[in-house]
Amino acid sequence: MEFQFAHNNLNVLDLDRSLAFYKEALGLSEVRRMDTGDFILVYLGDACKSKHLLELTWLRDRKEPYQLGDNEFHLAFTTKDFDAAYEKHKAMGCICYENKAMGIYFISDPDGYWLEVLPEGK
């Protein structure tokens, strides 16, 4: 029996703000959407470089921010142009943690989720 990753889910408070952030910060774009009336699921992809998707869930009646606890969970993204990505994220003001010794850093999305950025091949 074999399994493949399909997607990861993050719940978001402001769907439009999150979609804009993921497009600007990581170049992710909407692949498909499902609106049930009570919630909207939006799947984001990285222009077919990977089959793995990021699912954003927006609950229509949710008004309070999500409690992320210690926020030890994160998603990781690689890039060929690490230095340019770092400068872009620095200009956006979304870098929340750097580990220069390991050559990585983290950005924080509008809901406070941490996203690791590392050079391709690392």
Residue-wise pLDDT tens digits, 23-76 = 999 999 999 999 999 999 999 999 877 889 999 999 999 999 988 887 778 899
Number of neighbouring beta carbons within 10 Å of residue 13 = 16
CA dist 99 → 3, 27, 94 (Å): 32, 23, 15
Task: Give the count of domains, the chain.
Answer: 1
Q: What is the DSSP string of 81-122?
A: -HHHHHHHHHHHT-EEEEETTTTEEEEE-TT--EEEEEETT-
Task: For residue 67, tell me if it sits in a domain.
Answer: no
- Asked whether residue 57 is domain-assigned, the answer is yes
Looking at residue 66, the DSSP 8-state letter turns out to be P
Residue 31's domain comprises 7-61+74-119
The CATH number covering residue 105 comes to 3.10.180.10
State what percent of residues in the chain have pLDDT above 70: 99
Average pLDDT over the chain reads 93
Residues 14, 59: Cα–Cα separation, whole Å: 9
| pLDDT at 122 exceeding the cut of 80 | no
Answer yes or no: is 15 within a domain. Answer: yes
| 30-40 pLDDT tens trace | 999 999 999 99
Residue 82 lies in a domain: yes
